[in-house]
Amino acid sequence: MITFTEALVKGKIAETIFEQMLRNTKFKNKKGENESVFTVLHFGYEHVLPELAKDRYIREKEGNIVLDAIRTAPDFAVVNNQTKEVSLIEVKYRFKHDEHFVLEIAKKMEKSWITAKLFLATPDGFFFDDIKSIIKNKGKMERLFHPNISKEMQQKYLKLLIKYEN
């Protein structure tokens, strides 16, 4: 049985791997220089509104619609520097792609963050999909695919995940 602390550490590792993989994804600009494809910004309430992360607010205000929305805020806001698209992305770690777990997360996020996306890091690979599709597909997610994030890059970060997973 995994402890709360172990789950927390694995979650932070997954967030760090996600963040670094995106920060290190490059493209050649018009001048032929390498430029970051993504700008990655911390978005979760523990970063944006740290005062509300204190236990006393969460315990005292269970069922508060505003606090519930803040508490389920995705971990990152990611800007695609090529398309200027902004995505809100929740990052989770699991030992395997557990459709029941994924669906449960998607349903919680659906209430306040229906346009968000979920990145799932597992030792079997990375998965990425939007909340609407996850719910529609009953927890099934697509493997991560982005034209600028090569399979080789994903393998590099997957090896890192596995190294710290053990």
Helix 151-165 and helix 4-23, axial crossing angle in degrees, nearest 10: 160
Residues 120 and 37: their CA atoms lie apart, in Å, by: 20
pLDDT score of 71: 77
Instruction: State the SS3 of 19-61.
Output: HHHHHCCEEECCCCCEEECEEEEECCHHHHCHHHHCHHHHHHC
For residue 139, give the CATH number of its domain.
3.40.91
pLDDT score of 165: 74
% residues pLDDT > 90 (the chain): 67
From 13-22, 76-85, 121-130, 157-166, the region with the lowest mean pLDDT = 157-166
Tens digits of per-residue pLDDT, 29-67?
Answer: 888 899 999 999 999 877 766 666 565 555 555 566 777
137 - beta bridge partners?
none
Residues of the domain holding 73: 4-165
Residue type, 90: E
Are 80 and 93 in contact by the 8 Å Cβ rule? The answer is no
Stretch 127-152: mean pLDDT: 96
% residues pLDDT > 70 (the chain): 89
Reply yes or no on whether the pLDDT at 125 is more than 60. Answer: yes
**Based on the structure, what is the number of domains in the chain?**
1
